[in-house]
């Protein structure tokens, strides 16, 4: 059985991970451009990345070869406004205008994410997301982008994975700005959610074509231990509680934005209310869909076991050592539908693998094909049961800069030789092309 005829098949990237050209044509510095030093594998930086900035035509042509219907990409805030506020860099807007035009000419619908972690460094020096002015800074930037591109772009996502760029950046020092400051969580949570809400308002007030607006968080999805109603209830409650995963939790970020409710348990966590009733009404802005990034089922330590509850001895893993369990896709779609009532768009799902060009000049990646296949079957199961899923966006279109992990993990459908920037479509790219062409009927 195929998916619905209007199912959204695509792939994704993020500006800091693919563009390069970090100091060209008026671009300002981001926190990743500056603060990577001493914090990443091999001290890898995003300064060149995939050189996508200079290779738009080739990259869009490859997307066309794969048959993508949608391409989700992010706009670099410091490429548009180098200092974060103030003077606009027209060359930055021209770059994204060119990308949008190339996509539309290739029959690919552009989907813009307005923030995917590359905070302008000048704003970081002013406190970044800890500064209560940050929602206004973000709103000003969003207005510039929407005014420039909304005549041709319909799909907008405000913010990608606040769980990560706040959780593992301010509580764990794993991502830029590499801090470990629990006190930062309260102002950052408030300001990021206010920024999301301000952005939704700006998009709806400013867009020149009717916008379709969403949010792209991630979060732990717990699987039931068995098929009983009690086990399903427990897994659901774990998924939307905040006592196991803290700021990495699903409900921490989505409950205020979609339900207009303070996340479960956060008053106790912070020792004071996170939002007033009036503030929650401001944060709860109408969304057309809920994006969600899903890679693994959630687990946690239990008893004296050396394995978390989502692992077992010898379980399959990707090259980042994440356990693989396709059922997480079904439960994500089901639980998100049941709690939030919005159509779900899988905005990221994918597998990093130890890919390389083989003697025949090709990149054979059967594990990735199997990974996508199994996750899509789980997605179709959810759809067959009546849960609303509007599309699947694979992460990522090409191998890229995997943040603190550098360039070793390869998630792409397209292999990138970073020494030469040569692109090679992997077997998974050709397989995904057939899936798209059949609308999933060949699964």
Q: What is the pLDDT of residues 433-443, one digit of tens each?
A: 999 999 999 99
Q: What is the pTM of this model?
A: 0.98
Contact 443, 72 (CB under 8 A): no
**Band (371; pLDDT cuts 50, 70, 90):** very high
pLDDT for 203-220, tens place per residue? Answer: 999 999 999 999 999 999
**Run of H or E residues at 371:** helix 366-384
**Band (6; pLDDT cuts 50, 70, 90):** very high
More confidently predicted of 35 and 172:
35
- Catalytic residue (one of 161, 279, 311, 402): 161
pLDDT for 307-363, tens place per residue? Answer: 998 999 999 999 999 999 999 999 999 999 999 999 999 999 999 999 999 999 999
More confidently predicted of 299 and 387:
387
| Percentage, residues of the chain above pLDDT 70 | 100
Contact 246, 184 (CB under 8 A): no
Using the predicted structure, report yes or no on whether residue 430 has a pLDDT greater than 80. yes
Using the predicted structure, report yes or no on whether residue 1 has a pLDDT greater than 80. no
Q: What per-residue confidence (pLDDT) applies to 89?
A: 98
pLDDT for 219-268, tens place per residue? Answer: 999 999 999 999 999 999 999 999 888 899 999 999 999 999 999 888 88
Are β-strands 344-348 and 389-395 bridged in parallel, bridged antiparallel, or unpaired? parallel
Q: Is 70 helix (H, G, I), strand (E, B) or coil?
A: strand
Measured distance CA(240)–CA(249) in Å, rounded = 7
Contact 415, 363 (CB under 8 A): yes
Listed in sequence order, the DSSP H helices in 150-273 are 162-170, 185-206, 229-240, 250-254, 266-270
Q: What per-residue confidence (pLDDT) applies to 172?
A: 82
pLDDT for 405-417, tens place per residue? Answer: 999 999 999 999 9
Residue 334 Cα distances to 170, 265, 328, 372, 379, angstroms: 31, 23, 10, 18, 9
- Catalytic residue (one of 122, 279, 348, 402): 348
Using the predicted structure, report yes or no on whether residue 290 has a pLDDT greater than 90. yes
Q: What per-residue confidence (pLDDT) applies to 105?
A: 98
**Band (297; pLDDT cuts 50, 70, 90):** very high
Q: Residue 243: phi, psi to the nearest 5? A: -90, -10
Average pLDDT, the chain: 97
**Band (16; pLDDT cuts 50, 70, 90):** very high
Are β-strands 289-293 and 8-12 bridged in parallel, bridged antiparallel, or unpaired? unpaired
Contact 341, 289 (CB under 8 A): no
| Residue with tokens 């060119």, as numbered in its chain | 98
pLDDT for 170-184, tens place per residue? Answer: 988 899 999 999 999
**Band (304; pLDDT cuts 50, 70, 90):** confident
| Percentage, residues of the chain above pLDDT 90 | 94
Mean pLDDT, rounded, for 364-375: 98
**Band (298; pLDDT cuts 50, 70, 90):** very high
229: annotated active-site residue: no
279: annotated active-site residue: no
Measured distance CA(421)–CA(432) in Å, rounded = 23
């Amino acid at each position: 059985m195929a998916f619905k005829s209007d199912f959204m098949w695509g792939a994704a990237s993020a500006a800091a991970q693919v563009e390069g050209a970090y100091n060209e044509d008026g671009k300002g510095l981001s926190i990743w451009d500056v603060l990577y030093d001493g914090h990443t594998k091999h001290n890898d930086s995003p300064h060149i990345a995939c050189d996508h900035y200079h290779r738009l035509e080739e990259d869009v042509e490859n997307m066309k070869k794969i048959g993508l219907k949608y391409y989700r990409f992010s706009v670099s805030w410091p490429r548009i406004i180098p200092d974060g506020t103030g003077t606009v860099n027209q060359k930055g807007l021209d770059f994204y205008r060119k990308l949008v035009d190339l996509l539309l000419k290739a029959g690919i619908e552009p989907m813009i994410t307005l923030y995917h972690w590359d905070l302008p460094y000048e704003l970081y020096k002013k406190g970044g997301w800890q500064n209560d002015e940050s929602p206004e800074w973000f709103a000003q930037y969003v207005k510039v982008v929407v005014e420039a591109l909304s005549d041709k772009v319909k799909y907008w996502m405000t913010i990608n994975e606040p769980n990560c760029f706040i959780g593992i950046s301010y509580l764990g020092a794993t991502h830029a700005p590499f801090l470990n400051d629990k006190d930062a969580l309260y102002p950052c949570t408030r300001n990021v959610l206010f920024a999301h809400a301000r952005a939704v308002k700006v998009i709806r007030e400013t867009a020149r074509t009717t916008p379709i607006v969403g949010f792209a968080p991630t979060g732990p999805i717990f699987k039931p231990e068995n098929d009983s109603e009690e086990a399903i209830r427990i897994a659901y409650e774990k998924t939307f509680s905040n006592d196991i995963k803290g700021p990495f939790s699903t409900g921490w970020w989505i409950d205020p934005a979609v339900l207009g409710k303070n996340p479960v348990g956060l008053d106790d966590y912070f020792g004071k209310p996170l939002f007033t009733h009036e503030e929650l009404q401001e944060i709860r802005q109408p969304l057309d869909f809920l994006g969600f990034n899903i890679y693994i089922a959630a687990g946690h330590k239990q008893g004296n076991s050396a394995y978390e509850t989502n692992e077992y001895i010898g379980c399959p893993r990707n090259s980042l050592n994440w356990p693989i369990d396709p059922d997480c896709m079904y439960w994500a779609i089901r639980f998100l539908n049941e709690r939030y009532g919005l159509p779900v768009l899988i905005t990221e799902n994918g597998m990093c693998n130890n890919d390389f060009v083989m003697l025949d000049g090709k990149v054979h990646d059967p594990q990735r094909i199997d990974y996508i296949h199994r996750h899509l079957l789980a997605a179709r199961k959810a759809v067959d049961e009546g849960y609303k899923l509007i599309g699947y966006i694979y992460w990522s279109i090409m191998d890229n800069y995997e943040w603190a992990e550098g360039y070793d993990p390869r998630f792409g459908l397209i292999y990138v030789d970073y020494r030469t920037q040569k692109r090679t479509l992997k077997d998974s790219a050709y397989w995904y092309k057939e899936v798209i062409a059949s609308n999933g009927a060949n699964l």
